[in-house]
Structure 1
Amino acid sequence: MAYNLESSFQQASDLIHDFTCSPCKDDGLNNEAHFFCDECKKYYCNNCVQLHNKLFRTHSVLGRQDVSKWVGYAGLSPIEKCDKHGDKKLELLCEDHDELCCPICVSLTHRMCQSIKHIPDLSKGLKTQIDFKKLPADVDTITTRLQGITKKRTHNKQSLKDSGKKILAEIKSLRKKVIEKFDDIEKKTKDILENQLHEADDFLQDDIDKCTKLTDKLKTYLNTIQSQQDDNISYIAYKKCKDKMSDAESLLQELSTKPDTSLTFQADPRFEQCLSGLNALGKIITFPSKDMLNKFDISHVFKIKARSQYIVKMPSDKKMCGINGICKLPGGEILITDYNNTNLKLLNSQYQVTATCDLPAKPNHLCHIAGYEAAVTLDDKSVHYITVAGSTLTVSRKMTFPHDCIGISHHNGNLYVGSWTAIYQYTMSGQLVKKIYEDNSASGTVNAFTVSRDGTKIYIPASSHNKLITIDTSGNILSTLLDPDINWPYSVCVSDRGHTFVCSNCSKTVTQVDKDGKHKLATVAIWKGGLRNPSSIWFDNPTSNLIVGGCQNELSVFALE
């Protein structure tokens, strides 16, 4: 069986066979196999099998009538096998979906896709490419981070057990000193411990119950949709299911960054001196406390605790810096665009410039893609992918578009690129998916926008109209926010928890808005606090630092609480 394929792939190989003759394939030919040798573990066409049979008369050769047995002897490594279609070989790449495919995948799922490429064509010269050469280092970095988290969580589990043992040991030690009064006080202390454990358990169980309830609801609605014959009931179940999916996304965002709960024991140093006045052996502390958890709540309003400034102008820079884009990398490094000096700058975790990269045109906004890769928009209607390796910045690839490239954001394999008046969705290879939004009522209705962490919303600083506009990924306007402190909004950033911040150039402010973009929660920073024409902003989740740049030689870092 063979499958005809479209476009450029036809030029490389007109037919894709279930099984290709092994000797022919070695000679660069593409002939369908009709035989399989169990001992050679190779496939043969009608011509090649004749030579094989002369050379190896005792070998067991299976014909097409035994093709079901071929699969078991296909000789494919596990990495070559298609996960969706048994032991079919992965031979193709759908560039539209950036997905590896076997011929059946193409026939059933990707027949309408525009760009299907043959893997042998794509693999030519692979080992000389920069991405391939740096892959071991990238994998090592990721695995090291994963192992670090695993080690941390494992240690946390053990530390909880150790803490429990330590508390009991301390309680027993104190009991020996005050045996007469110990029974009564020990009981009271254990009651407190039990209550704290119960409260902490309830706190965790509440999260579990929320997740379980949503899971049950979604399954119920889905079962109704799949089994119901009445279209009206199916539609109602469909709408309710969509609503619950939205609730689930919000809950996932809320719960994903909550820290682990732990218990410790602090003995009261006055115990022996004032035993008669005590009701417990000591104080049991739960971490994090409820007060600390408030900081992680989506409705928490931040305040400035401290402010620092860091010089980012280099001796080679001929002009005052114009920082239009900021993003942080997994290792703590920070990338910034310098529009005025036409370069990118790499900063370490102490905000010191460690490397620069000159660009062919003035850079605007940038976004983190994955690992140590970022994408930056340039004034020449292009997007450059930047790879960071140590203290080296490299342009790994670039794409040119038929429109201006100002704002940029990435989510789940989709690249969102904005001109001054529109937002477009592209694949990572630069194929247009759709135009999401457009407003031609002024020359600057779309600036440095960002996509929410759950991928459901896009926050747009509509500079010309002094508005923050929130849309969904279909382009529907969800909310519009007008406020005196939002004057020529330039850039937006969102924390992992969904806290949203807008920096405005003319009002010289940073404002915090609610996750729906409907209300201003607070004006976090103002001109008197050190802001001068801010045009870029980044919220650093681990430190709760707000990093702000603009037309100045310093980067302002606000420690929030």
Structure 2
Amino acid sequence: MATSADVKEEPLIEDFADLLTCTICLETFKQPKYLPCLHTFCETCISTYIVTTVKEEKPKGFKCPVCRRHVPIGDSTERPETWAITLPGNHFVVSMIDRRAMKKAEKLCDACSSESICQKAISWCTNCEEAYCNTCEGHHRKYKMARNHKILPIKDINEDTSSPNIFVFVACDEHPDKPIEIYCKDHSKPCCTVCATVHHRKCEQVVTIDKAVAGVKESTNAQELLKKLKEINKQLEVIINTRKKKPKVFEKEIDVVLVEIANLREKLNKKLDELENKISEEVNSTRKHNILRLNEESSELISLKSTFDHWTNLFEACLLQGSEIQCFVKMEEISRKMPNIENDLSKVIQGIRDISVKFEETDIISDTVCFGQLQFNEGKPSLPKLKTVNFHTGKIKVMFTIDITGSYISGIFFNDNIIITDFQTKRIVYHNHTGKQTEVLNIPHSPTDITKVNDQTVAVSSNAQKICIINVQPLTLVKTIDINVPVFGLSFVEDEYVTANNNIIYWLNAQTGAKIKELPTGAYTMFVACSNKNEYIYMNGSNSVKRESAVGKSFQYNHRN
């Protein structure tokens, strides 16, 4: 008959079934070995993996098959075939496998199994952490060294809710054949008696492992660690789910780009058709005009030739058939008219031009290298913070220095990069995470302070009573908000701008710039920073910083210099 303990414990074991399965062979662990990253594999599986993946001439380690973290090998002169043997065994996983087998009445006698004999186990030695059949249990009790070992029936273990306490063997990291028996509080290190004697003999706080682990499951540290692990795991799930959506978003952006390219091609075709029609019309117009001109020249010449032909025939007739007086009169008449007609002929001949035409094409094909360029903007997304920093105990380390001459310099960190406002030169300067200047934006007014609005936008204040809204990548002035109060220091919180100037702090509507409220400080106040609407820190005179909060205690920090 199943007990309540059976019912409660069975799902527990099944919940952790994935911890007992090798991710390489997908079977229950056989001789489980674990890596520094705590991922566990069968000894044969990890050995095969190492041999097949390590190809360097002088390898220094290998990468974990799961997380890809580097696993260094202490004595890398050994052949990779021997590395798996040196890895520590995962006794905890072994104990879980044994518990599951005992719970399902599938546990075989370990002594018989070593002889390749399948015999169902009925008892468990807590000292040796081995299961025995009826025969092997009897033999085990006969030996003097094992005579006082505690042997329990597996049936009783399954009914006992405290059964996890029978699996007490945890190997020492430095001496795998010895159990952990000592805990050094000075080094926060559990170890065996050999390690305690050699490495911790001068330590002041050394206790037995039993004393160190007493009540550990219910301790605050254990609960906080579990809570932290679950919180990080939950945050990672959010990040992973968010990142899984990104390929589809990127695919859509690529599709949009392809459509834009196709549209550009259509526009180019349309433009080329327009240019072709334009040049064709110009050619036809030129042809018509110049053909007409050439025909007019010919007509004028023909007309003049007709005149000369007529005069020639007329004068020849006079010479052959006319009287002397008739010839004289015609000769005088033609001679009088000849200068005019010769002048007309000269004008026509001087105006004659040979016209030729050819097409000189624009080198549009060679000059057109591409339709455009793809611009990849990589920015740090807004993700849950997996690690919190204690600014009270942390240390400051100078990573690099940015040289900017002039006064009234302000700046913010923006997705691991730095944006600086330069009052004197009226510009916004963008630096990457190494301090290298990558972009500059000149603005109409001298900037006094800068604040982050969202992951794409910042706001910059100006003493000209204006707030400039700036897109970050690329740096572009989006719009300018006119303010009816003095502006210098600037902060953005919950769709409101908080600004300081002289001795007053103002709250402004982020959309319109209209004043919501004001707070006199009674001191020289030029800068303000906010974490929410009701909590703000501001410059309170030249040597003082003050924090005000609607909830909680306010305080003021003063400095002599």
TM interval, shorter chain, is 0.3 to 0.5
- Structure scoring higher RCO (CA < 8 A, sep ≥ 6) equals 1
* Greater C-alpha radius of gyration: 2
Q: State the TM-score, normalizing by the size of structure 2.
A: 0.35
Larger strand percent:
1
Q: State the TM-score, normalizing by the size of structure 1.
A: 0.35
Larger helix percent:
2
